[in-house]
């Protein structure tokens, strides 16, 4: 259909009226006369007629629209038209042309128009057609590039029972849409937790599917399988795993402590210990700051932050860690104590020759120091090649300038703001 998507069709319809400029005072009469005499119209003229500001023209164009399949999306648009005669004719026409084939191509347009006032009628027609269509007709909608269409198709598939539990589990495990993941996982487990369905969900690449599978292990009476997910990379999955093992009388805390004392510890175990432990477990996490795996070091720092355990002297060296993830976590942990870090040392870390993650870390810590230090960091960055750092610096300068009127600025702040203004000229 001319390769246009719903947004492009709606924009075309809007522009046709919002920017309408008649070729002559009799523009409407000219088009109506052309329809009356069956004078052929070009594609552009016919498109214009279907979107025309004059309802009589739109209604007359609909009378011949069935012969223009490439313009069927505009029939859908007219189903929500403000003019009742136009709206009624469009709805009659859509009911005539909508079959299993056109339903697939028009579904994105119908779902978009359904959000409009009076837009629900076309959606009702789509529902009726697809619920009577063979299952294979729904398949293209399940893999549509339009997210709303995929969600709609899976909702219908679940309601109609047209997908098996295994198919639903695979959809939940493989989809990148959280809505589809949740809907399909719930439906797959609705009649129990067959082993094949469970394994598909537990092996899902997204946390929504894995968490559904882990939670289902409780009903399946398989807490030992849930133990395998106590160190999952997802906080949601770890929480579900702890819930399942606790329901079976297993305390996950000793397991986390044992894993964190093992050289083969997983990153998820380090943060998992903090999620269910207390400050008494901090020594195990401090020891992991020297672990060879960057993921373990990063999660250990995150764990210490979760436990609200901070030691500036011990965390500061991690700002030089070769792993960006570790530097990022150390920065977050040090932010509340940023003023304990020497400002001049942090300023030196903004040097353009340093890795970007170190410069970003330095900026975040300097930004937490206060206005004077913030400006000392910001002014040299106003001409920086890094767009993100430059933007942060510009924002900081504007923020300080608004907060400190000229009459009350300290000499240093006044000088720094003057320098910033000179750079901006």
- Give percent above pLDDT 70 in the chain: 92
Residues 121 and 170 in one domain: no
Per-residue model confidence as pLDDT tens digits over 285-298: 999 999 999 999 99
Give the mean model confidence (pLDDT) for residues 74-86: 94
**Residues 342-350: contacts with CB within 8 Å, 24+ apart?**
343/369, 343/373, 343/376, 346/377, 347/376, 347/377, 349/319, 350/377, 350/380, 350/381
* Residue 31: predicted pLDDT: 62
Does residue 424 register a pLDDT over 90?
no
Quick one: tokens of 79? 């189903």
Give the domain-ending residue among 82, 109, 144: 144
137 and 213, same structural domain? Answer: no
Q: Pick the last residue of a domain from 144, 172, 207.
A: 144
Contact indicator for 418, 380 with CB cutoff of 8 Å: no
Which two structure tokens, joined as six digits, stand for 268? Answer: 């998820």
**Predicted confidence (pLDDT) at residue 407 exceeds the cutoff of 60:** no
Quick one: pLDDT at residue 24?
A: 45
Mean pLDDT value of segment 399-422: 76
Q: Same domain, yes or no, for 174 and 128?
A: no
Q: Tell me which of 3-7, 162-166, 210-214, 365-369 is least confident.
A: 3-7
Residue 372 inside a domain? The answer is yes
pLDDT of residue 20: 47
3-state secondary structure of 384: coil
Question: What's the average model confidence in pLDDT over 86-98?
Answer: 95
CB count in 10 Å sphere of residue 41 = 17
Encode pLDDT of 199-228 as tens digits. 999 999 999 999 999 999 999 889 899 999
Residue 79's closest CA among 67, 61, 91?
91
Q: What is the mean pLDDT of residues 170-186?
A: 95
Kindly tell me if the per-residue pLDDT of 103 is higher than 90.
Answer: yes
Contact yes or no for 296/322 (Cβ under 8 A):
no
Q: Domain for residue 317, yes or no? A: no
Q: Rounded to the nearest 10 degrees, what angle do helices 147-160 and 165-174 cross at?
A: 160
Q: In this predicted structure, what is the pLDDT of residue 328?
A: 97
Statement: residue 75 has pLDDT above 80: yes
Residue 193 is part of which domain span?
163-250
So what's the pLDDT on residue 26?
Answer: 43
Q: What is the number of other CB atoms lying within 10 angstroms of the CB of residue 213?
A: 30
Task: Give the mean model confidence (pLDDT) for residues 305-310.
Answer: 94
What would you report as the CA-atom Rg of the chain, rounded to the nearest whole angstrom? 31
Do 11 and 115 lie in one domain? The reply is yes
What's the rounded Cα separation, in Å, for the pair 338 and 361?
11
Alpha-carbon distance 11 to 18, whole Å?
A: 10
Mean pLDDT of 169-189: 95
Of 113, 144, 175, which marks where a domain is finished? 144
pLDDT tens for each residue of 16-74: 776 544 544 346 665 666 565 566 676 777 888 898 888 888 898 898 888 889 999 99
Same domain for 137 and 228, yes or no, is: no
Percent of the residues in the chain that have a pLDDT greater than 90, as a whole number: 69
| Burial class, 290, CB count within 10 angstroms (exposed 0-12 / middle 13-18 / buried 19+) | exposed
Q: How far is CA 416 from CA 24, 129, 363, 376, 387, in A?
A: 62, 68, 17, 7, 21
Q: Are 414 and 406 in contact (CB under 8 A)?
A: yes
Indicate whether 288 belongs to any domain: no
- 325 vs 102, 286, 290, 301, 341, CA distance in Å? 49, 17, 14, 10, 20
């Amino acid at each position: 259909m001319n390769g246009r998507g719903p947004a492009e069709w709606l924009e075309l319809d809007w522009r046709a009226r919002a920017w309408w400029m008649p070729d002559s005072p009799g523009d409407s009469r000219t088009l109506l006369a052309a329809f009356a005499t069956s004078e052929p119209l070009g594609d552009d003229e016919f498109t214009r007629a279907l979107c025309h500001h004059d309802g009589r023209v739109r209604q007359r164009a609909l009378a011949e629209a069935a012969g223009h399949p490439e313009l069927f999306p505009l029939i859908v648009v007219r189903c929500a038209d403000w003019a009742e005669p136009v709206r009624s004719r469009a709805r009659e026409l859509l009911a005539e042309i909508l079959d299993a084939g056109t339903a697939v191509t028009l579904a994105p347009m119908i779902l978009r128009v359904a959000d409009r006032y009076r837009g629900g009628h076309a959606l009702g027609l789509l529902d009726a057609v697809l619920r009577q269509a063979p299952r294979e007709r729904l398949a293209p909608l399940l893999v549509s590039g339009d997210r709303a269409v995929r969600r709609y198709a899976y909702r219908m598939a679940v309601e109609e029972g047209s997908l098996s539990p295994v198919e639903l589990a695979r959809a939940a495990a493989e989809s990148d849409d959280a809505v589809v993941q949740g809907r399909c996982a719930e439906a797959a487990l609705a009649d129990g937790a067959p082993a094949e369905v469970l394994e598909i969900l537990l092996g899902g690449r997204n946390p929504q599917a894995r968490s559904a599978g882990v939670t289902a292990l409780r009903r399946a009476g398989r807490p030992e399988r849930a133990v395998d997910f106590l160190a999952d990379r997802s906080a949601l999955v770890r929480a579900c795993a702890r819930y399942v093992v606790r329901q079976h009388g297993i305390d996950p805390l000793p397991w986390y402590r044992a894993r964190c004392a093992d050289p083969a510890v997983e990153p998820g175990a380090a943060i998992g210990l903090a999620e269910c432990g207390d400050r008494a477990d901090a020594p195990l996490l401090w020891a992991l700051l020297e672990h060879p795996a960057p993921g373990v070091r990063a999660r250990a720092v995150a764990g210490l932050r979760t436990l609200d355990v901070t030691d500036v002297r011990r965390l500061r060296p991690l700002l030089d860690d070769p792993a960006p993830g570790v530097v990022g976590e150390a920065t977050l942990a040090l932010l509340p104590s940023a003023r304990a870090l020497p400002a001049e040392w942090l300023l030196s870390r903004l040097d353009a020759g340093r890795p970007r993650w170190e410069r970003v870390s330095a900026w975040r810590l300097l930004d937490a120091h206060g206005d004077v230090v913030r400006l000392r960091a910001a002014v040299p960055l106003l001409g920086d090649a890094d767009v993100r750092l430059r933007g942060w610096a510009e924002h900081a300068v504007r923020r300080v300038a608004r907060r400190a009127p000229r009459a009350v600025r300290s000499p240093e702040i006044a000088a720094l703001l003057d320098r910033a203004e000179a750079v901006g000229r």
